[in-house]
């Protein structure tokens, strides 16, 4: 099974040398798609020097102005993290995550997100992810260099190919991040219309919980259309009722 459908996405990388080292790590393990979101400096001589034979990967590298643009067309998305996150995220060991990424890439483009060297990925940048990837490391110093993290994930993807299992027959492509975002916006609108609001003290967690629920469910495009059709029907019934009895 090929990994050609797997996209490595670096979000706001700050050191051009790391970009070159990432390209080299990808070349070593047969990965071809590198996307940079708002890099501080690229192209750059340090990136070329550190690529060391992976010039073709650098030449194909895409630079985007937003994470949404970088993930366009993708179905399954994994995001790397070195620290504990919200309990509603599904988290997997890097080996398990690599096997899953490889299977999902057989039915549509998949992506792995890596954050900036200093801060990693923000909670907002994690929102499109279906699962988080943890790389086991010493508890006293778990933070990895960006290129090292990409190398480990790329190695596990390479290793997983020998034991790859095809996705279920008839499995459709997962919904893209933009399609899911439209679903969440639609959901938030209907919740407001029916006055179903967050009852917690802060009153800000309801949509975040709903997002995590649907991200864990890994909706395909048909399922997103079903849910949006249901929401539209709810809105239609409310409008029809409003014609007979104003609120």
Residue-level pLDDT at 171: 65
Fold of 6-163: Alpha/beta knot (3.40.1280)
Residue-level pLDDT at 237: 87
pTM comes to 0.84
* Averaged pLDDT, 22-44: 97
Residues of the chain with CATH 3.40.1280.10: 6-163
Residues of the chain with CATH 1.10.8.590: 177-244
Residue-level pLDDT at 142: 85
Q: Give me the chain's average pLDDT, please.
A: 90
- The pLDDT > 90 percentage for the chain reads 73
Higher pLDDT, 198 or 204: 198
CATH number of 177-244: 1.10.8.590
**Per-residue pLDDT reduced to its tens digit, 96-109:** 999 999 999 998 99
Sheet with 6-11: strands ordered across: 62-64, 33-37, 6-11, 110-114, 77-80, 131-134, 91-93
> Residue 165 — very low, low, confident or very high, per pLDDT cuts 50/70/90?
low
Alpha carbon distance 182, 175 (integer Å): 11
247 has pLDDT over 50: no
């Amino acid at each position: 099974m090929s990994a050609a459908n797997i996209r490595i996405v670096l979000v706001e990388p700050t050191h051009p040398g790391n970009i070159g080292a990432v390209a080299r790590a990808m070349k070593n393990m047969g990965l071809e798609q590198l996307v940079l979101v708002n890099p501080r400096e690229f192209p750059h001589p340090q990136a070329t020097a550190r690529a060391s034979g992976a010039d073709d990967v650098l030449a194909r590298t895409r630079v985007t102005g937003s994470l949404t643009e970088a993930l366009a067309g993708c179905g399954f998305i994994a995001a790397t993290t070195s620290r504990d996150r919200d309990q509603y995220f599904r988290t997997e060991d890097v080996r398990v995550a690599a096997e899953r990424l490889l299977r999902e890439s057989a039915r549509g483009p998949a992506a792995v997100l890596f954050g900036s060297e200093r801060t990693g990925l923000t909670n907002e940048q994690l929102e499109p992810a279906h699962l988080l990837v943890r790389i086991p490391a010493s508890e006293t110093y778990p933070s990895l260099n960006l290129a090292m993290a990409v190398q480990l994930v790329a190695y596990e993807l390479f290793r997983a190919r020998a034991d790859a299992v095809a996705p279920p027959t008839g499995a459709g492509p997962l919904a893209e991040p933009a399609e899911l975002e439209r679903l969440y916006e639609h959901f938030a609108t209907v919740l407001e219309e029916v006055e179903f609001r967050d009852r917690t003290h802060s009153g800000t967690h309801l949509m975040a919980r709903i997002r995590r629920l649907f991200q864990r469910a890994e909706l395909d495009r048909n399922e997103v259309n079903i849910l949006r059709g249901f929401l539209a029907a709810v809105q239609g019934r409310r409008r029809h009722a409003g014609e007979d009895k104003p609120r």
